[in-house]
Structure 1
Amino acid sequence: MYKYFLAALCLLLAFPVTVQAQPVSAVKKDRKFYEQKGDVIWEVQTDKKWIAFTFDDGPDPKQTGAILDVLEQYHAKGTFFVIGKQAAQHPQMLNRIAFEGHEVANHTFNHIFFRLPSSPERVRTEIERTEAEIIKATGKGSALFRPPGGIYDETIIREARRLGLYPIMWSWHQDTRDWSRPGIKKIVNKVLDNAHNGDIVLFHDFVQGSSQTVEALKQILPELQRRGYEIVTVSELIQSSSRQLHKSSIPSKHKS
């Protein structure tokens, strides 16, 4: 009997029984996570027939100016996510954007695609240098920030919020890809076929080569207005949100 007990003990020592702890599920930090926290906005829940048009990569004296002319013609407002080095070269365009009641927002200084995990110092420098140019041209800072390419991580979001800026993306169904010059009709159809309350539409006010955005806007704006939509700034859109989380997360006006 003793030898059987000794054999069993040897087996237990050779193959110890381990008690595994229940795995703890890590929080998945995807779009849903950040939207629920109210840290990033892709689109807004609102009962109003409001849509925000956003324009990246300017300012450009020719293309931005032409877009401003069309917006004025249709009494529409836009949000311009400006690149700092472009702003430094064309401060008069930033001044015009602000003077005509549009929104100036931050799109980094060099339009770099942040390598993830991102460097806090690099993120801060890119944002702060652009803010300095915005303040120099308009007299006040911006409230919103959009990382180039929509690339983000916890560091980018945290640093933007620490600097008082709210990260804004765009509705995935409203990426016009106008930068690739897909044809005026494709840009028009992309917006009109997918229009919903609270959309944030992605355009560009600087496109290499001949931009198709201005001609597309000339068709998009009157049709949306015929359907009862109003084109507003992103901050105005957020203030109309049916989610208190979003409304309390953004200042009602730009910082002084």
Structure 2
Amino acid sequence: MYLHKTPTWLGGLFPNILWNIETDAKEIYLTFDDGPVPEATPWVLEQLEKYNAKATFFMVGDNIKKHNELFTTVVEDKHTVANHTFNHLNGWQTGSQVYSDNVGKAEELIGASSSQLFRPPHGRLKWSQYRDIKKNYKVVMWDVLSGDFNNSLSAEKCLTRSIDATSTGSIIVFLDSAKTIEKLKYVLPRYLEHFAALDFTFKAL
């Protein structure tokens, strides 16, 4: 169970976490989780370039280690790189010290390219983990979850719901993953085209 649109009251409960960007400008903040991977990342970068779009890539450290050339390409293309743990850990199922060490391990690979932004995999984080992480990072969630990971959701509905949930200053989540690339190939170009036609710009955090 998940919500395509994060309710406003949830952001009010956790005001120090970034859910969206307060702005009057026609801007959307694209984020891509779980990469970099050769099955998806190069294609995503091509689509972004077509629309002069910038994005934030919340990267898994193990994938950076395996595909460092893709990490370098994302950085060279002037996108933002952010921490998504080394092993894509579920915070609810992981001890706080193990979790903190895993975040640090990923940060070592990100190095000088660090944005000091962090998103917990699955959006799951214990309070003790949050208290530790916020000392060094701004924790970023989202106000639009595309649902591209949901196998029971058609590509057409994924696109429609993503468009309907997006508003000025939205932070939207897509996955940069081999598991979701086929659906993303339908959704992302049409999403970008729709909002570009409405004179929106796409920015990195």
TM-score (norm 1): 0.71
| SS of aligned partner of 2:92 | coil
Which amino acid in structure 1 is aligned with residue 187 of structure 2?
A: A
Instruction: State how 1:143-154 maps to structure 2 within 5 Å.
Output: 143-154=116-127
The answer (yes or no) to whether the contact 2:148–2:180 under 8 Å persists in 1 is: no
Return the match for 2:132 from 151, 159, 164: 159
The answer (yes or no) to whether the contact 1:83–1:110 under 8 Å persists in 2 is: yes
Displacement of 1:63: 0.3
2:7 matched residue in structure 1: none
* 2:67 is the counterpart of 1:90: yes
Instruction: State how 1:171-250 maps to structure 2 within 5 Å.
Output: 171=143, 174-181=144-151, 182-208=153-179, 211-234=182-205
Displacement of 1:185: 1.3
Unmatched 5+ residue regions in structure 2? 1-9
Instruction: State how 1:67-82 maps to structure 2 within 5 Å.
Output: 67-82=44-59
2:104 matched residue in structure 1: 128
Displacement of 1:210: 5.0
Give the number of the structure with larger relative contact order, counting CA–CA contacts within 8 Å between residues 6 or more apart.
Answer: 2
Higher gyration radius (CA) = 1
Which amino acid in structure 2 is aligned with residue 105 of structure 1?
A: A
Return the match for 1:170 from 142, 153, 168: 142
User: CA deviation digits over 1:172-205, x for unaligned, max 9?
Assistant: xx21110124332122212222221110101001
The answer (yes or no) to whether the contact 1:131–1:142 under 8 Å persists in 2 is: no
Cα distance between partner residues in 1 of 2:96 and 2:195: 41
| SS of aligned partner of 1:178 | coil
Return the match for 1:42 from 19, 41, 47: 19
Displacement of 1:81: 0.5
Change (3 A) 1:209 1:115: closer
Unmatched 5+ residue regions in structure 1? 1-29, 235-256
User: CA deviation digits over 1:64-104, x for unaligned, max 9?
Assistant: 11000000011101111111111110011111111101111
Q: Larger deviation: 179-188 or 87-96?
A: 179-188
| SS of aligned partner of 1:193 | helix
The answer (yes or no) to whether the contact 1:102–1:233 under 8 Å persists in 2 is: yes
Displacement of 1:149: 0.9
Identity of aligned residues (%): 28
| SS of aligned partner of 2:78 | coil
TM-score (norm 2): 0.88
Give the root-mean-square deviation of aligned CA atoms: 1.7
